Structure 1
Amino acid sequence: MTYANYLPDELLLEILNHFTAWETVERQTALARFSAVNRQWYDVAIQLLYESPYLFGSAYELFVRTISPSVLARIKPTSLSSLVIRLDLSHIVHQGNKSTTARLLGRTKASLQEFIAPQASFAINCWASLSKCSRLRVLDLSLVSECIDFQSLNQALRQLTDLRELCLPRCSSRYEKSAPSTNLRWPPKLGHLSLSGSVSGSFLWDMRRQPNNFPPTFSSLGISHSPGLDHQGIQSLLCSLGATLTVVQLHDLPAVKQGRLNGVLDWLPSLVSLTVALDYIDMRFGHMPTDFQPARWREAKPLRTLTLVTSGRTGDPSRSFTATDLYAMIDERFLGRLRYLNIAQSTDWANENEGDELGALESLLVEELDKENWLERRWHYEEVPFTEMSRMSYEQWISETATGRKMRPRFKVLKR
């Protein structure tokens, strides 16, 4: 049997396309072995191998030795550093140190677009290197355990003009108001901000007082792991940003009591995606009028995606928001635009008592509501051309057409 000594690059790239669906570790291992076959295979796969490396244990040490072999920046530069697009150090705890993190940022600054900071090896000496990553789009500091000085962070952010997503650390942070009117400067393309840690006091006040300092692209806000933030602080912040926010996530907020976030749909008139813990809402969630009925479907809230989770706290069971309450909001078309519903398994809605209600919810959302909107050409179906599709049934539309399969609603029970 004879074997081909040469395969066209196009065929090799087609083989590599199959790797994208694999698990991260399996994909990384396969890419490394693929690159070791010969020089041609190396040239084809090396960019994929380094653009988003999975770093843990001894693999991190080898990566550092390759990308940054010396403390001196002029010693043994390597072109591989310019291939790194996503640098995820979330699995690094004891292997690294702060100076190594700063060196890695300095080496990859020309190409880096996403950086997830490590828990223990990120500190003040990393700010200078971070500020030079001019192409950075995602900055995730949520794992950082060392106290962050917001003024130093703000200085670095001013240099990151292409930043789209920012996650602040869960640890405490120092925010010292140096003047009566501290000017918060956010990156000009920022779209998502995740707040956590000690988000309170002067920092929260300055955010509420300067909503116009957020760029026009800002539309998504996450608030979590903030023990000092109560419902009043959250409400005032959301209301000040209500004109622009379309996506909000609220969970792991110990100071927020049951029912205190019932009005979030009123505070945010343009909200299309909401993630909220059941701990903070009750049976009055959404403030649906008692006389609301399907004939008033035009007044439906704009919410399209709802994710319900839990933070592990228990309130008054007689006031809890249940699957039956959500069913009524959809059935009366108060949430008539809802298309994607995610229920965390930890909510216990799938237990013996409410398992039937959960099945009824899925049937109402996936079959009845969407079919009605399709037949009446409502909401997201208004702009769809129905020339040939007008002769189809709804069932044919969602099963036999690519557009129908893409637009159909989704119901999921989240295990994590």
Structure 2
Amino acid sequence: MANKRRPKKTRGLHYRRYVYGPVASSEGERLNPVDDGLLNSESSTSTSMQDESPDHEGDKSIVDSRSFHRQWYGEVWPSSKFQKVDVLGVAIALHEGLSVLPPWQEDDYEKRLQNRKIELRGLKLPFEIIMEIIRHTDDSERRNQLLICKSVYYMLLPDVYSYPKLSTTNFLKFVDVMMQRENKRRFRDSVKVLDLSNLIQAGKVSYVSKLLKRFSESLEVFMSSQSSFGLSSLVSLRYCKRLKVLDLNLVSETVNLRELFRCIHNLPSLEQLSFPRSSITCEEYGMEWPPNLWYLKLQGGITDDFLMNSNFPDTITNLEFAHCPNVTDEGVCDLLGRIGRQLKRLSAYYPMPMLSATAFDFAFLYCPNLKLFYTSISYISGDVFSETFLPELVNKNRPLRNLIIDSPGQLGQGAKLDPDDITVAVSEERLPCLRSISLSSLLGWDFMSEPVQNLVSELEWRGGAVYRL
């Protein structure tokens, strides 16, 4: 009677025969192939890449014979996981100065090798030329172009974030991304234009201050929102040494001009400044202006005392008046009498209720070097083009090239000025350089009438044109 408790004979079952290549065992056990690879030197790598070209794909025997000496470990049995290593092949490879990769790095090497072959086949132009071509495409394609490769991503990232399009829906997400510590170096020099004009309220006051500090090394243009611009934001402006444009036009909070100039007077690159439209507090007038300021937009609660007592810099060539409810003819006359000769552009926007109906009739008299004059019909009359207020200059031609006359649409405003007044001034060579006249359709003029057509003919004969706003 057989002893069923006696263990079965298992001699020989734990021993396997190891060979190269896929073979089948006597029990029908199938070998699992493993990846092979040997990281050769540059010469051997280039040789292997040439050997694996499409010209040799059909000859499998050549591929197998050439790849045989690179396979330094054999097949792995699925159960025992045993494997035979070609010790002699590895020793010879090391003796020849080649590098032998362990099995767990073979996959990474093969992927890098395949990527390198793809790059060599696909890269026909230098990377710099490819980037220059991409930058000439439409900006709307930038987000898709970031997915080309990692090199293109890092090259285009500053272009994408140089002028972020911010709104109420994405502003908080933008702040969260920018304030993360790991993104500090990535976006530090990217943002050049920070436009918050589409935001009614930019969250907490500290958000604007933090953004100004974060982008202080690269920011060139800043347009504030209606609110969330406090003292902390003013203090942060002093760190933006590359700031060129500061637009506080939409700020609805009270701004102290003394604190504002204290923060911006040492900005060497600041060129354009727009005062806030809201109320302004100013008790001192001896402020120090930025050294390179050439554009100034006066608006808000400024008074005649500010215009008459402030020392405006000689660098200002573009001056605008807008939303100045406290400014009168006296303040405007005093200011233009002092800096009018250096101005090349002068603009007067509606409404300014304290100005008279002839406040800017003397603009050409005080500003003989104007190249552009924009005014509302509410502040001029027909006398502005008379010989008294528009005399012929001595030793030079008046350089005015663009004349823009707007209108708020009030009844009777168009009767203050006649088209013949402009035609006579042009025909008498008192405006010899005038090439463009833009007239508002709210003036109430009949553009097909004879006076307007005479003006059009006179200007076209001189190479200019008349436009309707």
Tell me the TM-score normalised to structure 1 length.
0.75
1:238 pairs with 2:336: yes
Given the alignment, which residue of 351, 361, 372 partners 1:262? 361
Closer, same or farther: CA 369–83 of 1 in aligned 2, 3 Å? same
1:221 pairs with 2:319: yes
Give 1:334 deviation, angstroms: 1.6
Closer, same or farther: CA 322–76 of 1 in aligned 2, 3 Å? same
- d(CA) in 1 for partners of 2:453, 2:137: 36
Residue of structure 2 equivalent to 1:170: 277
Give 1:363 deviation, angstroms: 3.8
Given the alignment, which residue of 386, 404, 407 partners 1:307? 404
- d(CA) in 2 for partners of 1:282, 1:291: 13
Say whether the 8 Å CA contact 1:98–1:122 is kept in structure 2: yes
> Where does 1:19-34 land on structure 2 (aligned, <5 Å)?
19=138, 27=139, 29-34=140-145
1:332 pairs with 2:424: no
Given the alignment, which residue of 259, 264, 279 partners 1:152? 259
Say whether the 8 Å CA contact 1:251–1:311 is kept in structure 2: no
Q: Secondary structure at the match of 1:342?
A: strand
Closer, same or farther: CA 413–102 of 1 in aligned 2, 3 Å? same
1:143 pairs with 2:256: no
Give 1:151 deviation, angstroms: 0.9
1:316-348 deviation digits (Å, cap 9, x = unpaired): 654x11333222221222211112333334434
Say whether the 8 Å CA contact 2:377–2:414 is kept in structure 1: no
1:266-318 deviation digits (Å, cap 9, x = unpaired): 0112222211111111111133269999xx99775331221211244455654
Closer, same or farther: CA 255–62 of 1 in aligned 2, 3 Å? same
Residue of structure 2 equivalent to 1:398: none
> Where does 1:3-402 land on structure 2 (aligned, <5 Å)?
8=125, 9=127, 10-19=129-138, 27=139, 29-69=140-180, 77-177=184-284, 182-207=285-310, 210-211=311-312, 214=313, 216-252=314-350, 253-288=352-387, 300-315=397-412, 318=415, 320-349=416-445, 352=446, 354=448, 357-365=451-459, 367-370=460-463
For 1:158, the aligned partner's letter is H
Residue of structure 2 equivalent to 1:394: none
Say whether the 8 Å CA contact 2:346–2:372 is kept in structure 1: yes
1:225-244 deviation digits (Å, cap 9, x = unpaired): 10111222111111111232
Say whether the 8 Å CA contact 1:35–1:42 is kept in structure 2: yes
Say whether the 8 Å CA contact 2:177–2:183 is kept in structure 1: no
For 1:36, the aligned partner's letter is L
Say whether the 8 Å CA contact 2:365–2:391 is kept in structure 1: no
Say whether the 8 Å CA contact 1:50–1:83 is kept in structure 2: yes
Q: Secondary structure at the match of 2:375?
A: strand
Closer, same or farther: CA 359–34 of 1 in aligned 2, 3 Å? farther
Residue of structure 2 equivalent to 1:400: none
Q: Secondary structure at the match of 1:232?
A: helix
For 1:184, the aligned partner's letter is M
Q: Look at both structures and tell me which one has the larger radius of gyration over its CA atoms.
A: 2
- d(CA) in 1 for partners of 2:395, 2:242: 43
Tell me the TM-score normalised to structure 2 length.
0.67
Closer, same or farther: CA 18–363 of 1 in aligned 2, 3 Å? farther
Residue of structure 2 equivalent to 1:379: none
Q: Secondary structure at the match of 1:242?
A: helix
- d(CA) in 2 for partners of 1:368, 1:51: 45
- d(CA) in 2 for partners of 1:292, 1:249: 21
Q: Secondary structure at the match of 2:347?
A: strand
For 1:257, the aligned partner's letter is S
Closer, same or farther: CA 95–130 of 1 in aligned 2, 3 Å? closer
Give 5+ residue unaligned stretches, structure 2: 1-117
For 2:179, the aligned partner's letter is S
Aligned residues: 348
For 1:336, the aligned partner's letter is P
Q: Larger relative contact order (C-alpha < 8 A, sep ≥ 6)?
A: 1
Give 1:6 deviation, angstroms: 5.5
Closer, same or farther: CA 127–289 of 1 in aligned 2, 3 Å? closer
Give 5+ residue unaligned stretches, structure 1: 20-26, 371-408
- d(CA) in 2 for partners of 1:315, 1:266: 26
Q: Secondary structure at the match of 2:170?
A: helix
